[in-house]
């Protein structure tokens, strides 16, 4: 799964922004809808000193040891220009540095600073059209070669390739002022020797020139799109297996779908890095361990799992074990997140509005939330309550448990059959089975279609797929609805591959309103996005909002220093350490 900040030049960005999530344990009774919507504040650093390393020391931290991530399936992508899923985004922080990044302290303070760059960005003319980033001195790849502006430009250039298209599209579309951003320039493999439109590197200075003002550029360049890639080491399709590191850790060995061993990058200089502490000697990722197995292992806390953790919610079957023992409970981090869970309705295939409305009336949110242990909140809107301007509404109020009779009325008593695609992992299997049971009450038969989780979004993100209903989740890329509704429901973004608009929804009325709101000042835009949220659901029903996603993760007893990241809603690696 995949996160307001106002349209102001960085020179005056000592402003607060609204973020989402929670770093401390907020629950007392798992299973009872325990997460809370919280507002956290942060700033964009205007003092260049904020962007210098080393990162602030974590009290009590010690260096050494190896931590272990117990993970259900292989990462969808590790190639930074393809990454756009929360677990991969979290992992990438350790090997793919970007122009900017976030300092977090676990207390709700989120600050955007220069990561590879000396600051959060320079708005050259004060109109948000030209942005300049200067790389720090002493930056190196894992093999010791210097990181240059050309390496950053080359990394960004790869994201233009028509066969890539899995990652964020902000920079590509802003540079070309086009949804179809690669009609002319198609990346370094298909347009060799050609220049990236609007992007230049002069030594260590990188300049973005946009046709229109793009005042949220400092946030956009924090995405992995701007991670540097050395052209000489680019293995193209195989880069997913072993990307070249610019961060504190690099891949020593990657046995696909089995494990990855990350070790220290000897050429990472902490003096250049204000974000990462890199206390551990290594990070081992073990695949094929479902959330229930992983959570049970960590609760048991055997010697080999005392430095283990999971990037998945503790499943319902294990929740009681995390509250009955105070020593286990203190190892849990939980709270609200910026993510929303949806059942997408493929409008290319499900064209009848009444069917889409019936799916919304019939959904039993209470039952689905209970499958996950009750750690989530009832949700009926496209955007999360953690985003500024949010307005609560329910366009198809069937109550907590749904209204199958109203759904039957809309269907005229007819029975229908729909395919439902979801990742083939235990918790998704359980949720899909519950959805099948729920919708059967309304005369809607779900044909369950489990897909390989490692290629799931590639499959459902391909236009013309054969799925009527698609499981998906989304969170704002930064704290603004401008990174939710346009990304998910602007029909002009639909392409052959790599779609985020999994409803394949395209309505002129909505597209025009997206353009209008983008031209508004932030105070006007926030409520306008909320109004558009409501219009889309009431008039078109292209998806079923199911719940606002809560996070409930656990670590072994020898892991310290971590908290739920407000950027990715997973336990952060940046400050993690192994206790003696």
Q: What is the DSSP letter of 157?
A: H
CA dihedral 256, 258, 260, 261 (to 10 degrees): -140
Give me the pLDDT at residue 429, please: 96
Render pLDDT for 332-369 as a digit per residue (tens, 0 to 9): 999 888 899 999 999 999 999 999 999 999 999 999 99
Render pLDDT for 445-467 as a digit per residue (tens, 0 to 9): 999 999 999 899 999 999 999 99
Closest to 234 in 3D by CA, of 161, 169, 132, 136: 161
Give me the pLDDT at residue 15, please: 29
Closest to 145 in 3D by CA, of 76, 274, 244, 276: 244
Question: Cis (ω within 30 of 0) for the bond into 47?
Answer: no
The domain segmentation of the chain, as residue ranges, is 10-56+81-237, 249-334+552-578, 338-550
Give me the pLDDT at residue 355, please: 98
Residue 131 has pLDDT above 50, yes or no: yes
Whole-number Å distance between alpha carbons of 548 and 312: 15
CATH number of 338-550: 3.10.105.10
Sequential DSSP letters for 456-517: HHHHHTSTT-S-SEEEEEEE-SSSSGGGTHHHHH-GGG--SS--S-TT----HHHHHHHHHH
Residue 244 has pLDDT above 70, yes or no: yes
Looking at every residue in the chain, the average pLDDT score rounds to 91
Q: 1 falls in which pLDDT band (50, 70, 90)?
A: low
Same fold, 249-334+552-578 and 338-550: no
Greater model confidence, 390 or 289: 289
> Is residue 195 exposed (0-12), middle (13-18) or buried (19+ Cβ within 10 Å)?
exposed
Find out if CATH 3.40.190.10 is the number for domain 10-56+81-237.
yes
Render pLDDT for 403-445 as a digit per residue (tens, 0 to 9): 999 999 999 989 999 999 999 988 899 999 999 999 999 999 9
Closest to 65 in 3D by CA, of 322, 303, 328: 303
Whole-number Å distance between alpha carbons of 254 and 283: 12
Give me the pLDDT at residue 163, please: 86
> Is residue 107 exposed (0-12), middle (13-18) or buried (19+ Cβ within 10 Å)?
exposed
Decide: helix, strand or coil at residue 5: coil
Query: pLDDT exceeding 90 applies to what percent of the chain?
Result: 81
Q: 395 falls in which pLDDT band (50, 70, 90)?
A: very high
Range list of β-strands (E), 258-400: 259-264, 282-286, 308-309, 332-345, 377-378
Whole-number Å distance between alpha carbons of 202 and 217: 19
Closest to 43 in 3D by CA, of 117, 126, 127, 100: 100
Q: 35 falls in which pLDDT band (50, 70, 90)?
A: very low
Whole-number Å distance between alpha carbons of 379 and 397: 11
Residue 20 has pLDDT above 60, yes or no: no
Whole-number Å distance between alpha carbons of 462 and 139: 37
Render pLDDT for 528-567 as a digit per residue (tens, 0 to 9): 999 999 999 999 999 999 999 999 999 999 999 999 998 8
Average pLDDT over residues 150-175: 93
Give me the pLDDT at residue 28, please: 37
Give me the pLDDT at residue 410, please: 98
Residue with tokens 């850790």: 249
Whole-number Å distance between alpha carbons of 458 and 19: 29
In contact, 89 and 568? CB cutoff 8 Å: yes
Query: pLDDT exceeding 70 applies to what percent of the chain?
Result: 92
Greater model confidence, 388 or 304: 304
Give me the pLDDT at residue 478, please: 82
Cα 274 to chain centroid distance, Å, stands at 22
CATH classification (class only), 249-334+552-578:
alpha beta
Cα 288 to chain centroid distance, Å, stands at 22
Rounded to 5 degrees, φ, ψ at 266 are: -65, -15
Q: 44 falls in which pLDDT band (50, 70, 90)?
A: confident
Give me the pLDDT at residue 5, please: 24
Whole-number Å distance between alpha carbons of 354 and 358: 6
Residue 235 has pLDDT above 50, yes or no: yes
């Amino acid at each position: 799964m995949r996160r307001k900040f106002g349209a102001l030049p960085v020179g005056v960005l000592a402003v607060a922004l609204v973020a989402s999530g929670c770093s401390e344990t907020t629950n007392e009774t798992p299973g009872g809808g325990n997460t809370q919507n919280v507002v956290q504040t942060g700033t964009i650093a205007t003092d260049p000193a904020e962007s210098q390393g080393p990162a602030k020391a974590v009290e009590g931290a010690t260096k050494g040891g190896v931590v272990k991530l117990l993970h259900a399936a292989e990462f969808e992508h590790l190639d930074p220009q393809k990454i756009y899923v929360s677990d991969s985004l979290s992992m990438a922080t350790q090997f793919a540095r970007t122009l900017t990044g976030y300092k977090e302290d676990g207390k709700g303070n989120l600050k955007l600073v220069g990561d590879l760059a000396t600051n959060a960005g320079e708005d050259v003319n004060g109109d948000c059209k030209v942005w300049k980033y200067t790389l720090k001195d002493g930056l190196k790849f894992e093999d010791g070669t210097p990181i240059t502006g050309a390496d950053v430009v080359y990394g960004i250039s790869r994201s233009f390739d028509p066969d890539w298209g899995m990652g964020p599209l902000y920079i590509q579309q802003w540079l070309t002022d086009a949804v179809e951003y690669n009609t002319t320039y198609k990346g370094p493999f298909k347009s060799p020797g050609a220049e990236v439109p609007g992007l230049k590197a002069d030594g260590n200075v990188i300049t973005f020139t946009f046709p229109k003002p793009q005042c949220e550029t400092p946030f956009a360049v924090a995405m992995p799109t701007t991670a540097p890639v050395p052209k000489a080491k680019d293995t193209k399709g195989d880069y997913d297996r072993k990307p070249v590191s610019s961060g504190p850790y690099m891949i020593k060995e990657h046995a696909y779908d089995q494990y990855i061993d990350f070790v220290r990058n000897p050429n990472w200089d902490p003096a250049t890095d204000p974000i990462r502490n890199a206390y551990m000697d290594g990070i081992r990722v073990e695949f094929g361990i479902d959330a229930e197995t992983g959570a049970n292992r960590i609760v048991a806390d055997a010697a080999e799992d005392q430095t283990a953790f999971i990037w998945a919610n503790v499943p319902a079957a294990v929740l009681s074990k995390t509250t009955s023992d105070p020593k286990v409970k203190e190892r849990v981090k939980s709270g609200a997140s910026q993510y929303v869970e949806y059942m997408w309705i493929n409008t290319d295939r499900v064209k009848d509005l009444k069917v889409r409305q019936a799916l919304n009336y019939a959904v039993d949110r209470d039952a689905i939330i209970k499958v996950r242990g009750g750690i989530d909140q009832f949700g009926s809107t496209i955007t999360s309550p953690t985003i500024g301007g949010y307005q609560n509404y329910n366009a198809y109020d069937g109550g907590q448990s749904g209204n199958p009779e109203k759904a039957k009325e809309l269907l005229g008593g007819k029975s229908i059959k729909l395919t439902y695609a979801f990742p083939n992992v235990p918790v998704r299997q359980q949720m899909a089975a519950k959805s099948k049971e729920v919708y059967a009450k309304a005369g809607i038969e779900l044909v369950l279609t489990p897909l390989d989780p490692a290629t799931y979004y590639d499959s459902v993100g391909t236009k013309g797929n054969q799925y009527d209903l698609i499981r998906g989740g989304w969170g704002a890329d930064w704290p603004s609805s401008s990174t939710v509704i346009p990304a998910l429901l602007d029909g002009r973004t639909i392409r052959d591959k790599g779609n985020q608009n999994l409803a394949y929804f395209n309505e002129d009325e909505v597209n025009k309103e997206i353009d209008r709101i983008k031209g508004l000042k932030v105070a006007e835009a926030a409520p306008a996005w909320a109004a558009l949220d409501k219009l889309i659901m009431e008039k078109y029903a292209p998806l079923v909002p199911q719940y606002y996603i809560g996070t409930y993760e656990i670590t072994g007893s020898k892991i310290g220093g971590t908290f739920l990241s407000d950027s990715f809603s997973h336990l952060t690696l940046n400050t993690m350490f192994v206790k003696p």
